[in-house]
């Protein structure tokens, strides 16, 4: 049967199992929105306040569910407003499909109204992108885009469709089997091959692990993406190896586990950073050796051989030279290693790491009217391990990473690679839409929150029961911390002594607002918000000079970390 391009898009989304999309309409994408209207019983559309919020919502939906997130935008400023969200997803390997519409094909390249070359703009921040000039190719492109987005190392894919293509008609043939019950990838025009580690390479890696006296894990977001947390835990326990996690790998290994040493890198723990430079074998799993982790590459893991396990061949030896590598599916590789490695008893290496774990910054116990540690521990006590926590970027993000005891995968959504201020509100919306029965708590700094607070309109309209906690210290806290420590306290453009009043703002959007200046006020406000199961905002007043420690000064070896401002 013949369908219009717009209807083909909707049918392709349905056969990919898409139930929810995020977006904002405009002139060139009207045909697709008209089909969405006709198919609202099959696909829910969440209208955001801004396209950037829609992109972050699709990202949060994908990270929290493991499914492909979908975002729609019109041409010109509509699609360029997606760029930050697409780049955020690209840096953190998030499966997303962005569908944009452009001016009709005969107007392309003529500086037409609201025309922009969005495929050219996003070429470096997508896994692949397309402009569809023939309606007969549309179904194949959409199917292939989803396959590319979710396969191998996931990432965002963009499809740009001129308006006349959405109006033109073509024959439509549905897939023989729905995606999800049987994997049915389309023809792979990009020739992306999923690597498979050889049995010999796995056996050699197992032998390397078995002979190690001081093994140590450096775990990244790839373990979460590949659903390999169970296999990682089994391997770590069998060889009694301490486990450090990156910001993106925070939920890959339970924080309360005896082998967990916490975060590694610029704001990592003394145990993680010291162990990385004292181990004889560093096992990097799904981690890319970011500069925020390794700092000075010549002095990182300087006593160790490095075994790197990753699905992306481009990551092998990119930032650090390795002595051995396994390139392939992390979950399958770890499962094979568990059966091959020799068990290792607890010994003096574990005792040394446990002693380093006792070295914690004094600020963890600092007494203030409302300390970040108290807030985060109080939240966890009330919502448990199944709640999803989102953040913006800055000091509050690091406090969450340091103080919140994550135990389950996909419960911590944050922008790691790009460090996108304004990410978390949209991500919280997407997480709540994808997990309607779970509690979603968004921790925001007052600076980051200002960037996309317009999405309070979306949260209110759809009655998404997100609890927003604004860590309000009246400053761009992380930048101020650097100014205090390295710029002789010249606080240039970081003090936020200006509106809005966040509680009054929440009220304007029809959201319950609370103020909290003390521990008792915070507990009372959070308990009320949790009980009401409605959107809520808690404005938490915090000390402007509260800082994040440990901290490794830029360029220093990671074991030369500061535990306080006087170190």
- Residues labelled catalytic: 51, 113-114, 163, 478
- Per residue, what are the HEC states of 356-371? HCCCCCHHHHCCCCCC
Q: How many CA atoms lie within 13 A of 156 on its CB side?
A: 31
| Cα dihedral sign, 515-517-522-524 | negative
Euclidean distance between CA atoms 567 and 563, whole angstroms: 6
> Vertex 512, ends 507 and 514: CA angle to 5°?
100
- Helices and strands in the chain: count of H runs, count of E runs: 23, 20
Euclidean distance between CA atoms 218 and 54, whole angstroms: 33
Contacts of 415 (CB under 8 A, 6+ apart): 88, 91, 92, 392, 393, 423, 424
| Three-state SS at 393 | coil
43, 36 Cβ separation under 8 angstroms: yes
Where helices occur in 302-413 by DSSP H, the ranges are 330-340, 348-356, 372-383, 395-403
Euclidean distance between CA atoms 356 and 307, whole angstroms: 24
285, 315 Cβ separation under 8 angstroms: no
Euclidean distance between CA atoms 461 and 457, whole angstroms: 6
| Three-state SS at 491 | coil
Closest residue by Cα to residue 282 from 267, 270, 294, 291: 294
Euclidean distance between CA atoms 485 and 145, whole angstroms: 47
322, 306 Cβ separation under 8 angstroms: yes
Euclidean distance between CA atoms 284 and 476, whole angstroms: 33
Euclidean distance between CA atoms 556 and 412, whole angstroms: 28
Beta bridge mates, 467? 441, 536
- For the record, the structure tokens of 311 come out as 């699905």
- For the record, the structure tokens of 393 come out as 């970027």
Euclidean distance between CA atoms 274 and 262, whole angstroms: 12
| Three-state SS at 514 | strand
Euclidean distance between CA atoms 561 and 551, whole angstroms: 5
Length of the chain: 567
Closest residue by Cα to residue 236 from 267, 281, 301, 294: 281
20, 46 Cβ separation under 8 angstroms: yes
């Amino acid at each position: 049967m013949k369908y219009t391009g717009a209807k083909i898009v909707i049918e392709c989304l349905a056969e990919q199992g898409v139930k929810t999309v995020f977006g904002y309409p405009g002139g060139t994408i009207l045909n697709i929105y008209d089909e969405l209207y006709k198919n609202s019983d099959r696909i829910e559309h969440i209208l955001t306040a801004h396209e950037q919020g829609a992109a972050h919502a699709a990202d949060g939906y994908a990270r929290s569910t493991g499914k492909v997130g979908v975002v729609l935008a019109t041409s010109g400023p509509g699609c360029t407003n997606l760029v930050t969200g697409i780049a955020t997803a690209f840096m953190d390997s998030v499966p997303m499909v962005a569908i944009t519409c452009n001016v009709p094909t005969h107007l392309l390249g003529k500086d037409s109204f609201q025309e922009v070359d969005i495929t050219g703009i996003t070429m470096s921040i997508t896994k692949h992108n397309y402009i569809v000039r023939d309606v007969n190719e549309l179904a194949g492109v959409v199917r292939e885009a989803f396959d590319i987005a979710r396969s191998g190392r996931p990432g965002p894919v963009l499809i740009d469709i001129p308006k006349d293509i959405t109006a033109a008609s073509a024959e439509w043939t549905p897939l023989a089997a729905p995606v999800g019950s049987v994997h049915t990838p389309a023809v792979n025009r990009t020739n992306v091959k999923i690597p498979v580690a050889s049995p010999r390479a796995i056996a050699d890696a197992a032998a390397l692990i078995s002979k190690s006296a001081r093994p140590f894990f450096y775990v990244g977001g790839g373990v979460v993406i590949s659903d390999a947390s169970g296999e990682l835990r089994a391997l770590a326990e069998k060889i009694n190896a301490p486990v450090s996690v990156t910001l993106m790998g925070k939920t890959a290994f339970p924080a309360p586990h005896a082998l967990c040493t916490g975060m590694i890198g610029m704001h990592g723990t003394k145990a993680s950073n010291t162990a990385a430079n004292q181990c004889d074998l560093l096992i990097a799993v799904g981690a890319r050796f970011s500069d925020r982790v390794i700092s000075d590459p010549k002095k990182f893991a300087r006593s160790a051989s490095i075994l790197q396990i990753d699905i992306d061949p481009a990551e092998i030896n990119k930032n650090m030279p390795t002595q051995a590598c396994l390139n392939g599916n992390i979950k399958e590789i770890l499962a094979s290693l568990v059966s091959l490695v020799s068990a290792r008893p607890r010994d003096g290496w574990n005792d040394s790491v446990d002693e380093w774990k006792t070295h914690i910054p004094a600020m963890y116990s600092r007494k203030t009217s409302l300390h970040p540690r108290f807030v985060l521990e109080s939240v966890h006590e009330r919502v448990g391990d199944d709640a999803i926590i989102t953040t913006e970027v800055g000091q509050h993000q690091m406090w969450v990473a340091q103080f919140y005891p994550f135990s389950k995968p996909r419960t911590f959504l944050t922008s790691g690679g790009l460090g996108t201020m304004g990410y978390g509100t949209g991500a919280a919306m997407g997480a709540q839409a994808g997990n309607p029965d779970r509690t979603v708590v968004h921790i925001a700094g007052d600076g980051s929150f200002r960037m996309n607070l317009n999405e309070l309109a979306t949260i209110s309209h759809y009655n998404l029961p997100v609890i927003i906690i604004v860590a309000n210290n009246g400053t761009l806290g992380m930048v101020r911390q650097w100014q205090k420590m390295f710029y002789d306290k010249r606080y240039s453009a970081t003090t936020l002594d200006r509106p809005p009043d966040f509680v009054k703002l929440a009220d304007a959007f029809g959201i319950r607002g609370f103020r909290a200046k003390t521990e008792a006020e915070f507990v009372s406000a959070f308990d009320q918000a949790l009980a009401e199961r409605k959107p809520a905002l808690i404005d938490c007043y915090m000390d402007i000079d509260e800082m994040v420690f440990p901290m490794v000064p830029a360029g220093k070896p990671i074991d030369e970390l500061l535990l306080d401002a006087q170190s």
